[in-house]
Amino acid sequence: MGLPQNVRNIVFFRKNLTFNNQAKLNMRQKIVNLLIIEDCQIIVNAYKVIIDNIINYKFKASITQNCEEAYQHIQTKKHDLILLDLQLPVSKNNIYKCGEDLGSLIRKVHPDSKIIILPMFQII
């Protein structure tokens, strides 16, 4: 019992890319401005591994770890895609207290940006 056919094809394709094929593939990649709003470095590292393995897209990622940093990025740069955690350290001005507040801000400032909400809850 091996891998399903579609998974075998992907593995075969990835193993057999030559340098020239890889260069051609990179020329066709769509660039995506990504903002990761996440306070846990382990989760950020996992996101990086995942996005590095998406073939047809090149991600230009900015990473913020709290509401204050995220607020600054949202105000100064437009992102195509935002990975948003809900439980975050509060901003200095105490206006942005969680990811939900930031999501509302993103919708107002950049209504065309796509938001993926990824709540991570620690179970003790």
**Whether the Cβ atoms of residue 124 and residue 47 lie closer than 8 Å to each other:** no
CA distances from 66 to 36, 42, 43 (A): 10, 15, 14
What does the pLDDT average to over 15-30? 54
**Whether the Cβ atoms of residue 91 and residue 64 lie closer than 8 Å to each other:** no
Report the pLDDT value the prediction gives residue 90, as an integer from 0 to 100: 85
Compute how many other C-beta atoms are within 10 angstroms of the C-beta atom of residue 89.
15
- Tell me if the pTM is above 0.85: no
* Architecture per CATH, 29-117: 3-Layer(aba) Sandwich (3.40)
Please write the tens of the pLDDT for every residue from 34-89.
Answer: 999 999 999 999 999 999 888 888 999 999 999 999 999 999 999 999 999 998 88
Domain extent listing, the chain? 29-117
Q: How far apart are CA 81 and CA 5, in angstroms?
A: 31
Report the pLDDT value the prediction gives residue 36, as an integer from 0 to 100: 96
